[in-house]
Structure 1
Amino acid sequence: MSESGFDPGLADPTRAGVFFVTEDDLDPLAAVGRDAGLLSRRIDLSGCDSKGALLLRIATVLDFPQSSGRNWDALSDSLRDLSWLEAPGYVLLFEQAQELRERTEADFDTLLDILDEVSQFWTSNEVPFWSFIALPEEDFPDLQ
């Protein structure tokens, strides 16, 4: 339960997954994640227009080990490990994702697939792993 008395259930791994939100939602979600005792990290995707830039941003914010590769498989493997960021659960807050989606939709879609698979992996281990992707609200109907 959060300090406000409102409990959105972020500590429940069965509810975790990948969700689209607006930029205005990120601060409250970070606070709720903190109140739930989860490790929250904000990943700013502004100006991120390629797979390489995307992977570097995530690796930097999550402090991936030097030995981590810079490809999709390495991203998936690293997100399934996170032993260097031990926590009871995780909240990833992706800011400014619209540019990545517009410039390289295939990479954006691959990221979503990986985040979804990683969330399912953590759920099977009873650990909540949330990804919140900030996009303009008018883009939501196009997303499935």
Structure 2
Amino acid sequence: MNAPPFHTLLPRAERAGIYHLPYAADLALEEAAESLGYPLLRLDLARVNDREGFLAAIGKALDFPDWYGHNWDALADCLNDMSWLEADGYVLVLDHADAFAAASPTDFGTALSILQEASDAWREDGVPFWTLVGITADGIAWLRDLE
């Protein structure tokens, strides 16, 4: 599968949301995000297997402020604020998500729901907020593929 045309896709807030990370799309994604001035925020989930691990990892990867409370509500608050990292758009990549999805499917689903809600909220302001999930598991059929 070829990488989608990220330079034209990423600015489209109406399309932003949660998608499978396209195979072999890293370089094209990085180049597009950089050319648009969007921060590309990578979250390595290889060693994450529970809610606490995810909340710590995302707080570190997105450099959340000191007031971040390491709970679902605080995550939603931070994702809907992002004042410490102002940009015209955001690209979050969840690398190696398989272990977290398998070990704690409920928490993984909650995390993705919060990320989707953040994308929806940013869309209202015309700001694209993308989450691309690097996962090989077939059990997450509702994750859309970029086209």
Name the counterpart of 2:145: none
2-structure distance, mates of 1:43, 1:23: 17
The DSSP-based 3-state class of the residue aligned with 2:25 is helix
By how many angstroms is 1:21 displaced? 2.0
By how many angstroms is 1:24 displaced? 2.8
Q: Relative to total residues, which structure has the larger helix share, 1 or 2?
A: 1
- State the superposition RMSD in angstroms: 1.8
Contact 1:22 1:135 in 2 (8 A): no
Give the percent of matched residue pairs that are identical in Structure 1 and Structure 2.
36
TM-score (norm 1): 0.88
By how many angstroms is 1:89 displaced? 0.7
Change in Cα spacing, 1:80 to 1:100, as seen in structure 2 (3 Å) is same
Contact 1:30 1:91 in 2 (8 A): no
Change in Cα spacing, 1:6 to 1:52, as seen in structure 2 (3 Å) is closer
TM-score (norm 2): 0.87
Contact 1:46 1:95 in 2 (8 A): yes
Alignment of 1:6-45 (within 5 A): 7-22=7-22, 24-45=24-45
Residue 143 in structure 1 maps to residue 141 in structure 2: yes
Letter in 2 for 1:143: A
Letter in 2 for 1:110: T
2-structure distance, mates of 1:23, 1:61: 22
In the TM superposition, what whole-angstrom CA distance separates every residue of 1:19-55 from its partner, at most 9, and x where no partner exists?
A: 0125633343222222222111111001101100100
In the TM superposition, what whole-angstrom CA distance separates every residue of 1:75-121 from its partner, at most 9, and x where no partner exists?
A: 01100000000111100011000000000000110011111100000
Residue 79 in structure 1 maps to residue 79 in structure 2: yes
Name the counterpart of 1:132: 132
**Number of residue pairs aligned between Structure 1 and Structure 2:** 138
The DSSP-based 3-state class of the residue aligned with 2:47 is coil
